[in-house]
Structure 1
Amino acid sequence: MKLTIEKLTQLSAQDRIDLGKIWQEPCYQHALTTEITEDNTLFVARFNERLLAACRIQLSGNKAIITDFMVREVTRRRGVGHYLLTQCLSAYPDITHWQAISLSAEENGYDVAHAFLTHHQFNPSPQSDLYVLNI
């Protein structure tokens, strides 16, 4: 099967289970209950009918904020996050100002969220855990 990126409008029972595995940490519990709307979208990476990664995008005019970006731990470092992020950015060509809120994910004392976002041309802002990309 092929890895696909989808913009979900409704969640199946299996999607809810998979999202629970993606957003396991307490800081993501709000993401599991946030309503999906036109201005608060949910993008996921799906492989073999299972969700491997997810993020929310809040839209406002020509600005967007990416929140709750997470790849399942067992799937990391395989390009899933890169594919999800690039597809999200290309889904909204009219957005010129992107922000990403990072909930610092550390592995062995290394801030992977920071490394991931800066690798994708997001710049840290003076506000803690906020990264900015202007297109």
Structure 2
Amino acid sequence: MQPIERNRILYSFLTLVVILLGLASRHYFGEFPFVRTYVGDGLWALMVFFGFSLVFNRWSVRSVAIAALLFSFGIELSQLYHTPWIDRLRSTRLGGLVLGFSFLWSDLLSYSIGIAVGVLLEIRLISIRLKTK
């Protein structure tokens, strides 16, 4: 698929909506193990995908997806690293939301699914946008 120029307002909105959905999933549905374990991580990766789409708005869908996947996997792998300074950072609310706490293989699957959802949504948005031109 060829590079496109994404609408920055739309991707800002999508990123914000996914952030709010992720926070709401933890707040309102956090007592459900499936939601706590998988949905939040998938939404986190979807937010990364939309955020990368916003920042790198001329990259191809494939490039954004690969970058978002590498970033998400990198954050997860960083959870294997524990020193006092990074654990203090993780103990803050924002640090915990961004960096997480402990490595889980299931998170890698959740990230992959979240980014795949982003790719499918973007392809759908692109096809709708191209049909209206």
Alignment TM-score, normalising by the size of structure 1: 0.31
Larger-Rg structure? 2
Higher relative contact order (CA 8 A, sep 6+): 2
Task: Report which of the two has the higher share of strand.
Answer: 1
Task: Report which of the two has the higher share of helix.
Answer: 2
Alignment TM-score, normalising by the size of structure 2: 0.31
